[in-house]
Structure 1
Amino acid sequence: MASLSEHLSQKWRKFFQFFDINKDGRWTRDDFEKFADRLVIQADSMLTEIGACHVRRHCQHWLSIHEEQLCGTGVGEITEQVICDTMARLLLLNNNNAGCQIKELDIFSEVWFEILDINRDGRISEGDMWILYKCMGVKNLTKVGELFRELDLDSDHHLTREEVRVGYRQYFFGEQRQDFQSVALLFDLAGLQQGGAVCVT
């Protein structure tokens, strides 16, 4: 089994901890139901009942992609180590096939786009991204803006599906420490703010 560098391992562990809502070292359906609840509460003025169902459905789909297609666990939960082992496998695949399309990761980024597209207009605004991080307790608007501008490759103030796909590949598989430092900082801020149940204001 290939292994991730310390730098990449740290990125994935931060990512895992960001969505481990219950802070029990596992991703379960309950974590993603709570995550969906927070998104719906924060986006309340932008969501119809159908839109809220859309968010909840895609949050659960996102977990199932990790569980069934990425990790192959099929046990209803995913641990931090399983995520790191899975990403090491995908990284090896990517390195051995220069320029290859990693189908699993692209499916993941597609569902992630659907979750972030709060008002379902086919693109992600900075406001959409702000809702995501605010629901996780982050209150640093500057860092959210920095992340958005890093992802917005054509500087048109909206993110396309392709920009999200490219951004996530670059962040999670890029060895450059300066790549998307704002993401790591936001994950850290969310972890500091959560510490258990989050009261979002």
Structure 2
Amino acid sequence: MTESVSKRDRWRGSRELVTVIILSVTAVLTAWCGFQASKWSGEMSIAFSQASSARVQAADASSEARDARQWDLTIWVQWVLADADGDTTLRNYVEERFTPELRTAFDAWQADGRADTGPFAEKSYVPEGSAHAAALNHRADQRFDVALQMNHRADNYSILTVLFALVLFLTAMSQRELNDRLRDVLLLTAIAGTVVGAVLLITFPVDL
């Protein structure tokens, strides 16, 4: 009987120490998770802002490409009319005013036997600004994907913050005037939550 009482007394003393350790460690881990969630949220905001900026710039570049295509079409119509009238002088005059992009496509069109579709159907025809617009759209997509990834990381840290907050609650409850067995269950559950949370935390990326 005396030995059983002595074991209970030792466990109670150990339980107090374990409780202090769990509270201390969990408090630090909770603060760290909150810090990381904030950092990743900031990275997410920056990435979303960069994606938005790239999208706006891509829209401007696309507008530039449309204007360039419209100009090429206008010049091309004049060339077609001059060619139909057999006006070599006017046709040559118009050709001299082809943009480099139209000139490249025009040469390819002639090499292909002057297909009915015209030079604008040639793969070599790329209006000025098209490549820039495509590059900016690609960058916008990349930054948007990065932002979603950052958001996921911030959410993971937020979930761990909730888990550690629950651990703190269970640990605090284990200190209440409750049945010894219930107190042990609460403390052991808190310990298990701390271990699980710590293991998950190790696998998460860190932003400093």
TM-score bin, normalised by smaller chain = under 0.3
Normalised by the length of structure 1, the TM-score is: 0.26
Structure showing the higher helix proportion among its residues: 2
| Higher gyration radius (CA) | 2
Give the TM-score normalised by the residue count of structure 2: 0.25
Q: Identify the structure with bigger relative contact order (alpha carbons < 8 Å, sequence gap 6+).
A: 2
